Amino acid sequence: MDGTLLEVIGWLGSAVLVVSLLQTNLHRLRWINLVGCLVLIGYNAAVGVWPMVGLNVVLAVINVVRLAQGARDRHDARKYEVLEVPGDDAYLRHVLRVHEADIRRFNPGFVHDPFADQDAYLVLTGDETVGVTIVADEGEGVGQVLLDYVTPRYRDRSPGEFVFGSDGPIGQGRFTTVRTPPGMVAPYYDRLGFVSAGDRYEKRVAR
H or E stretch including 150?
A: strand 142-150
**pLDDT band, residue 127 (cuts 50/70/90):** confident
Q: Quick one: 109 and 179 in the same domain? A: yes
- Residues contacting 117, CB < 8 A, separation 6+: 87, 136
Q: What is the CATH number of the domain that holds 151?
A: 3.40.630.30
- Residues contacting 63, CB < 8 A, separation 6+: 30, 31, 33, 34, 37
Q: Looking at the predicted structure, is the pLDDT value of residue 180 above 80?
A: yes
- Dmax over CA atoms of the chain, in Å, equals 72
Q: Quick one: 83 and 179 in the same domain? A: yes
Q: Quick one: 41 and 107 in the same domain? A: no
Number of structural domains, the chain? 2
Q: How far apart are CA 5 and CA 144, in angstroms?
A: 57
Q: Quick one: 65 and 136 in the same domain? A: no
Most confident of 52-56, 138-142, 158-162: 52-56
Q: Quick one: 9 and 47 in the same domain? A: yes
Query: pLDDT tens digits for 193-205?
Result: 788 888 888 888 7
Q: Quick one: 33 and 102 in the same domain? A: no
